[in-house]
Chain A
Amino acid sequence: AQSVTQPDIHITVSEGASLELRCNYSYGATPYLFWYVQSPGQGLQLLLKYFSGDTLVQGIKGFEAEFKRSQSSFNLRKPSVHWSDAAEYFCAVGAGTTDSWGKLQFGAGTQVVVTP
């Protein structure tokens, strides 16, 4: 069965510093990978996705993520965080089959706090 692990429950970062959020997945086939952000009082917003091709994907708000098959990882990065990046971030994996590719398995989330 597929699973997603986000090892860091909580990360504190200074404004302007770089950010990296870890995500490891377990899945037998080629997965579809996603990062979502959930800000207080707002719904989940898709930051970026990986289906195939270039393993470095660019997303919105200056985020990027790199798919590393050998490490079963899909870490999210941002070179310089802004106070507005304080939120909870979820990594998700979708089964790469035509029967169930839409059902997402989410990690437990990483809460990001940005300090001045």
Chain B
Amino acid sequence: GAGVSQSPSNKVTEKGKDVELRCDPISGHTALYWYRQRLGQGLEFLIYFQGNSAPDKSGLPSDRFSAERTGESVSTLTIQRTQQEDSAVYLCASSAGAGMQFFGPGTRLTVL
């Protein structure tokens, strides 16, 4: 596609429920990243996929967070047993390399 797409754009859930956020990277981009942006704060790195290498999960805040990527295409970020502090905008980015990342519009997650 023309850019990185994410779905849903907005998600409201109840505390304790599981959520899945989806990211479709730019076609041909081998790298995919997930970031979290809490209200009024900068972006926090969560996880990074590069080709067939083991993902860099060093930014995941707890074991309730996980992500999968199928080949060099779609990625899903899953948050289990959501907590109110998980409320944030979750941003996905992809790149063909060299660190130049193109960002999607984000998914705004609200945990009630």
Listed in ascending order, the chain A residues whose CB lies under 8 Å from chain B are: 6, 32, 34, 36, 42-46, 49, 51, 90, 92, 94, 100-109
Q: Which residue of chain B has its CB nearest to the CB of A46? A: B100
| CB-based A-B contact count at 8 angstroms | 63
Count the B residues whose beta carbon is within 8 Å of the partner chain — how many?
26
B1 contacts chain A at the CB level, 8 A cutoff: no
Residues of the B chain whose Cβ atoms lie less than 8 Å from the Cβ of A105? 45
- Is the CB–CB distance between B48 and A107 below 8 Å? no
Q: Looking at chain A's contact residues, is the secondary structure mostly helix, strand, loop, or mixed?
A: strand
User: Residue B42 contacts which of A100, A103, A108 (CB distance < 8 angstroms)?
Assistant: A108
Residues of the B chain whose Cβ atoms lie less than 8 Å from the Cβ of A42? 105
Listed in ascending order, the chain B residues whose CB lies under 8 Å from chain A are: 31, 33, 35, 41-45, 48, 50, 56, 58-59, 91, 93, 95, 97-106
User: Residue A43 contacts which of B41, B50, B99, B103 (CB distance < 8 angstroms)?
Assistant: B103
- Is the CB–CB distance between A104 and B106 below 8 Å? no
Q: Which residue of chain A has its CB nearest to the CB of B43? A: A106
User: Residue A104 contacts which of B45, B97, B98, B104 (CB distance < 8 angstroms)?
Assistant: B45
- Is the CB–CB distance between B42 and A32 below 8 Å? no
- Is the CB–CB distance between A43 and B56 below 8 Å? no
A42 to B56, CA, bound (A): 27
User: Residue A46 contacts which of B50, B102, B105 (CB distance < 8 angstroms)?
Assistant: B102
A44 to B94, CA, bound (A): 12
Q: Which residue of chain A has its CB nearest to the CB of B46? A: A103
- Is the CB–CB distance between A43 and B104 below 8 Å? yes
How far, in Å, is A37 (CB) from chain B's closest CB? 11
- Is the CB–CB distance between B100 and A43 below 8 Å? no
